[in-house]
Amino acid sequence: MQYDGGRNRRTSRSDDYHAKMQRAGSETLLKTDLEQSKEAIKSEIRKQLKLKEGAENLKKVATDKKTIAQCNSILKEATAKLQDLHDDLQDLNARVSEDTPCKYINCSFRWQIQ
């Protein structure tokens, strides 16, 4: 047994060990959640890039103004979503390097950890 300085109680070494293991387990889960969120964002980025590429290809061969306008709209939306996703990915990368928990939730295209 060892004395726990300011808490006026005694803790055993096994209690200390179990507390350390519990913290390590929760940190591992947090990293796993962050990595899963990063993969989800990367998957959504790939999806938006394919959508954007398809709209660009359709726009090249489109002859009527309505189709060109629809392609422009799709391109604008995809570009905005891609920017948001890249920003979110940068935020997650920063969180992974900091090893700090997040308080955010997955909301539409804002991918964040709870």
- Tens of pLDDT along the chain (114 residues) come to 444 555 554 545 556 655 555 555 555 666 788 888 899 999 999 999 999 999 999 999 999 999 999 999 999 999 999 999 999 999 888 877 765 555 454 444 444 443
Query: Using only C-alpha atoms, what is the Rg of the chain?
Result: 23
The upper half-sphere exposure of residue 19, i.e. CA atoms within 13 Å in the direction of its Cβ, equals 6
What's the domain range around 6? Answer: 2-98
Is residue 50 domain-resident? yes
Among 48, 110, 19, CA closest to 37? 110
Q: Integer distance in angstroms from the first to the last C-alpha of the chain?
A: 37
Alpha-carbon gap, residue 6 to 4, rounded angstroms: 6
pLDDT confidence of residue 17: 56
Burial code (b: 16+ CB inside 10 Å, e: under 16) for 21-31 equals: eeeeeeeeebe
Q: Please check whether residue 23 lies inside any domain of the structure.
A: yes
58 is a domain residue? yes
Residue 30 sits in a domain whose CATH number is 1.10.287
Q: Is residue 55 part of a domain?
A: yes
Number of domains in the chain: 1
